[in-house]
Structure 1
Amino acid sequence: MINQADVKKAVKDYVKSKGVIGIRFVKVTLNRGSGTSVHISLYLDKPIELTFFNGLIDELSKRYGLRNWLIYAPHGRLIRLSATST
């Protein structure tokens, strides 16, 4: 089962391992239903390479079995990644 704190720690560890300094905060939300929806919000201080997000998605997909990824930018500095788990 996916744990909200574990996902947040995994995201923060990935950010540190890549040496990214342009992220102000990370927020993780889980919605449980027929499957689990995971929403990861990253508030950016400056632009980040797209390869960072590709690597993060690959890492979380392998670790937690997440799939059907969506990316959304509700405003200028926030990036929201959403995925589902079976």
Structure 2
Amino acid sequence: MALFERPTLVRDEVYEHLRRAVLDGELVPGERLGEAELCERLGVSRTPIREALMRLTQDGLLVAEANKGVRVRRVSAAEAQGAYVVREELDGLG
């Protein structure tokens, strides 16, 4: 008997797509992300866009601004330096 594979949800695919775009620098720090523009670009409705934006905000990749929407979070120099220190330590373990 074959294993049952759950279908991928659109909201999860949108989340992964936007997450990767932020991490790869396709969406730059400070860039405003409008729901309507994302709907048009990705060809999906607003619901999966909203859900993905909420998750990315909870993950700390986006920042919600009252009456202004959502922007890609800027990383401070101290945060960047801390990330490099952690990465150096992790690379040394391999």
Tell me the TM-score normalized by structure 1: 0.35
Judging by fraction of residues, say which structure has more helix: 2
Higher strand proportion (structure 1 or 2): 1
